[in-house]
Amino acid sequence: MTTNRDVTIYDIAKVLNISASTVSRGLKDHPHVRKEIKKKILMTARKMGYQQNKFASNLRQKRTSTIGVVVPRLDSYFMSTVISGMEKIFNESGYHLIISQSQESFKMESASIATLFNSRVDGLLVSLSYETQNLDHLGILFNKGIPIVFFDRVCDHPKCKSVVINNYKAGYEATSHLISQGCKNILHLGGSLIRNVYSERFKGYQRALQDHDLPFNDKMLMISDLSHNSGIEAAKVILQQKPMPDGIFAANDTTAVSVICELKQAGIRIPEDICIAGFNDDPISRVVEPNLTTVHYPGREMGEIAAATMISILKGEQSELLNSIVISHSLIIRQSSLRK
């Protein structure tokens, strides 16, 4: 006869004619339990289909050893490297991840955070959506003292740590490089200026123009979702501009690559007619012809640092003085922008 009743340590103890406390210690590999007894306990537990009740154990300990992660999209190479870095650090420390994506929607981001809160996560790592303009939906976590670490797309909050790169400096360097190659009419393909990463890259672009005595023209700013299709649409607009830009700084590689392909089909020479630089150092940047100049964004390192920061907070080891951790980036110059 089958039964849906869970097997308990008391059932195992009864079969082996030992105490339940001995079974419990044996399952936890306690050194005070003899090896032959441990072996019998494990074999019997496996045979009887015993499952450890982690939920009950977590309730007693008031922790779940689970961390929630909310990202804008899971189909991003950069974000997959970030998550890989997180998993490495958390797995080594005995934590598990629950990963959710907002798909660039504030509504979905709020729903994901509510679900993770109800799952009793010990902490939350968040990269904000295009649409998120405030942190009201995180209030329930702040009230419960659940730590939050922002990464990449962040928002300043006195109770939160952030892990970022210097997007302003990176935007400045990419634009200055295009200027050094003789570009004087540079278009910026940017993302939502609500988000820190895109607003700072745009500000760096503006400052580079200013420092090199080049005027900023509103028509040289195009905002989109930075998808492959938006790059195609941007290229169609660029081909109609008179004069066309002689340089393009795109806020990600996906858009930059689709622009390159579309412009080449129209007979535009890259970089002779238009120099192009992207951002993120995705693998596609090394496949497109010509290879794409880009900013190396250390995603795996960002994930590892964000995870290590969360673990330090949970252990009570984090300094209250350091709210933002800035990691290094680098400009990688390739053929798409090299005229000299």
- The model's pTM is 0.82
User: What residues contact residue 78 under an 8 Å CB cut-off, 6+ apart?
Assistant: 152, 280, 282, 297, 299
Q: Would you state the CATH architecture of domain 167-298+331-337?
A: 3-Layer(aba) Sandwich (3.40)
Could you read off the pLDDT of 200-242 as tens digits, one per residue? Answer: 999 999 999 999 999 999 999 999 999 999 999 999 999 999 9
Domains 9-52 and 167-298+331-337 equal at CATH topology level: no
| Whether residue 21 has pLDDT greater than 90 | no
In terms of CATH architecture, what is 9-52? Orthogonal Bundle (1.10)
* 339 Cβ contact partners less than 8 Å away, ≥ 6 residues apart: 181, 182, 271, 272, 275
Beta bridge partners of 123: 67
At 2 the pLDDT is 42
Segment 260-270 shows an average pLDDT of: 97
Beta bridge mates, 221: 188
- Is the pLDDT score of 309 beyond 90? yes
* Mean local confidence (pLDDT), 252-276: 97
Q: What is the CATH number of domain 64-164+299-327?
A: 3.40.50.2300
CA torsion, ordered 134, 135, 136, 138, to nearest 10 deg? 160
pLDDT number for residue 270: 97
Smallest Cα–Cα separation from 125: which of 90, 91, 165, 168? 90
Beta bridge partners of 75: none
Q: Which of 332 and 43 is assigned the larger pLDDT?
A: 332
